Amino acid sequence: MRRKLVAPLWRSALSRRGNATAATPRLPLTGIRVLDISRVLAGPYCAQILGDLGAEVIKIEHPTRGDDTRAWGPPFAPYKDGRGGEGESAYYLSVNRNKRSVAVSFKEKEGAKLIQTLAAKADIIVENYLPGTLEKYGLDYNTLAKTNPRLIYASITGYGQTGPYSNRAGFDVMVEAEMGLMHITGPRDGPPVKVGVAVTDLTTGLYAVNSILAAVIERSHSGQGQALDVCLSDCQVATLANMAQSVLVTGKRDGGRYGTSHPSVVPYRAFRTKDGDILIGGANDRLFGVLCKCLGQEEWADDERFSTNSARVANRDALEQMIEDITSSKLSKEWLDIFEGTGLAYAKINDIKDTLEHSHVVARDMIKEIKHPACGQLKVLNSPVKYSRTQPSIRTPPPLLGEHTDEVLRDVLGLDPTEIKRLRENKAVGG
């Protein structure tokens, strides 16, 4: 029975969008259509990954403002085609490639109807509005599933569809603070610090992708879609991982912030050098002995204060200061040469520019150059996973606001130019 369901579902999707060719090889999600009705980071990041994997992603944006992050700058990639404005924001560019932008207002009755019609032809919806918001416009899961029971509908929110905080707007920094991450991030004797990127948004986007792909596989067996409730608070609690498990095991409060140190392993942190910082980790007794030899202090390995990890944790402050007294005497490059091939965990701490120019990053093809219709040549991050056959790719640059409105209304919904013009005059669509 299951085999009979799988092939027709895929053939149906592919017949709507066209089969892959030698010039455009089929990617893992070729034939899957996604409506991205989300803004800012977690939702767009999720939809971008689906696009990288080959899905056709249609980004629904406000007709005049577009995605909030279009205005989040500087920095902006400047326009080079003579149009006015500051350009495309780096923030927006980071999470919106491999999408087509349709400028449509769901607050206009005709605009909502257009999105409903697109949803009837979609496999997946990604949205991140407060619970109940889209229901007012007939764009909630229960309404759309009546006409498209195969629809997979991922709702990404701050606090989920249920619970006492469900109607509360959720932002990454709020959830980092409230759900434990900020408390364990920062210097040992300093204030709590947020992570340098919006990590809770990003991990939530990743969890959403994972859930969507699982639902796609399940649908190939059942023929049915489903609603997915993905929220920042749940995902942040889940990614506390071993830190949360330690509290669950002991029943005690966590140990607070450790800076770059590891709460359970010593030494395992950043140490000053003559010209910067280097991360060093001796994760077990053998590697600690290796580190002692590299530092010219082999006797430390037999010192009862440091001979076991438990002893090193108990004498953390003394040992870490002793190590830094030595590391600060040489340049980072000198230490990298000394540690090379030893099996130690070690790395120079680089800023982002040095990271992007790192020889290994370049060798792994993590930076791509693409042509943007208004900004010209742009460098962007590449998809990180390497596939042996169906490699994800950057097929299209992040779109201009409403760049594909006419194209999608014509090719997907079958509207003629007169009807599209009327919708634009009625402010149901822009672009």
How far is the C-alpha of 402 from the C-alpha of 302, rounded, in Å?
Answer: 68
**pLDDT value at 196 more than 60:** yes
Return all residues near 248 (Cβ < 8 A) that are at least 6 apart. none
Instruction: Look up residue 400 and give its DSSP letter.
Output: P
pLDDT digits (tens, 9 = 90+) for 125-182: 999 999 999 999 999 999 999 999 999 999 999 999 999 999 999 999 999 999 999 9
pLDDT of residue 274: 97
* Collapsed DSSP state (helix, strand, coil) of residue 193: coil
Nearest to 307 by CA among 319, 317, 325: 319
CB atoms within 10 A of CB 117: 16
Q: Is 189 exposed, middle or buried (0-12, 13-18, 19+ CB in 10 A)?
A: exposed
Compute and round to an integer the Cα radius of gyration of the chain.
26
- 21 against 85, higher pLDDT: 85
Return all residues near 409 (Cβ < 8 A) that are at least 6 apart. 102, 114, 415, 419, 420, 423, 429
Nearest to 287 by CA among 261, 263, 310, 268: 268
Residues of the chain with pLDDT > 70, as a percent, come to 94
How far is the C-alpha of 282 from the C-alpha of 268, rounded, in Å?
Answer: 6
Tokens representing residue 142 in the block? 């229960």
Q: What is the dihedral of CA 4, 5, 8, 13, to 10 degrees?
A: -160
Return all residues near 107 (Cβ < 8 A) that are at least 6 apart. 137
For helices 199-222 and 2-17, give the axis angle rounded to 10 degrees.
120
Mean pLDDT lowest for which of 19-33, 44-58, 301-315? 19-33
**pLDDT value at 124 more than 50:** yes
**Taking a C-beta distance cutoff of 8 angstroms, is the pair 73, 375 a contact?**
no
**pLDDT value at 20 more than 60:** no
Selecting among 52, 140, 201, 234, the annotated active-site residue is 201
Ordered by start, the domain boundaries in the chain are 33-240+371-384+396-426, 268-350
DSSP code string of 235-279: HHHHTTHHHHHHHHHH-SPP----TTS-SSSSSEEEEE-SSSEEE
Per the prediction, the chain carries an average pLDDT of 93
pLDDT of residue 4: 40
How far is the C-alpha of 179 from the C-alpha of 165, rounded, in Å?
Answer: 13
> What are the C-alpha distances in Å from 246 to residues 177, 195, 249, 317?
19, 21, 5, 22
**pLDDT value at 16 more than 70:** no
How far is the C-alpha of 268 from the C-alpha of 83, rounded, in Å?
Answer: 52
Average pLDDT over residues 42-47: 99
Return all residues near 190 (Cβ < 8 A) that are at least 6 apart. 257, 259
**Taking a C-beta distance cutoff of 8 angstroms, is the pair 205, 49 a contact?**
yes
**Taking a C-beta distance cutoff of 8 angstroms, is the pair 116, 139 a contact?**
yes
**CATH architecture of the domain with residue range 33-240+371-384+396-426:** 3-Layer(aba) Sandwich (3.40)
**Taking a C-beta distance cutoff of 8 angstroms, is the pair 392, 383 a contact?**
yes
Q: Residue 14's pLDDT band (boundaries 50, 70, 90)?
A: very low
pLDDT of residue 6: 40
Tokens representing residue 305 in the block? 């204060």
Q: Residue 32's pLDDT band (boundaries 50, 70, 90)?
A: very high
**Taking a C-beta distance cutoff of 8 angstroms, is the pair 346, 279 a contact?**
yes
In this structure, are strands 152-157 and 124-127 parallel, antiparallel, or unpaired?
A: parallel
Tokens representing residue 97 in the block? 């490639």
CA 192, chain centre distance (Å): 23
Q: Residue 24's pLDDT band (boundaries 50, 70, 90)?
A: low
pLDDT of residue 241: 96
| Diameter of the chain measured on Cα atoms | 85
What residue type is 402 in one-letter code? Answer: G
CB atoms within 10 A of CB 83: 9
**pLDDT value at 46 more than 60:** yes
How far is the C-alpha of 249 from the C-alpha of 375, rounded, in Å?
Answer: 54
* Collapsed DSSP state (helix, strand, coil) of residue 191: coil
Specify the DSSP element, H or E, that contains 120.
Answer: helix 109-120
- 50 against 7, higher pLDDT: 50
pLDDT of residue 255: 86
CATH T-level topology, domain 268-350: formyl-coa transferase, domain 3 (3.30.1540)
> What are the C-alpha distances in Å from 409 to residues 43, 124, 205, 423?
23, 18, 28, 10
pLDDT of residue 431: 76
pLDDT digits (tens, 9 = 90+) for 321-352: 999 999 999 999 999 999 999 999 999 999 99
Average pLDDT over residues 342-367: 96
**Taking a C-beta distance cutoff of 8 angstroms, is the pair 430, 401 a contact?**
yes
pLDDT of residue 263: 86
Q: Which residue has the tokens 């009327």?
A: 422
Q: Residue 305's pLDDT band (boundaries 50, 70, 90)?
A: very high
**pLDDT value at 319 more than 50:** yes
How far is the C-alpha of 263 from the C-alpha of 114, rounded, in Å?
Answer: 53
pTM (two decimals): 0.90
**pLDDT value at 407 more than 70:** yes
- Please state the length of the chain: 431
Q: Residue 23's pLDDT band (boundaries 50, 70, 90)?
A: low
Active site residue 52: no
Average pLDDT over residues 387-392: 93
* Collapsed DSSP state (helix, strand, coil) of residue 206: helix
Average pLDDT over residues 362-386: 97
- 341 against 3, higher pLDDT: 341
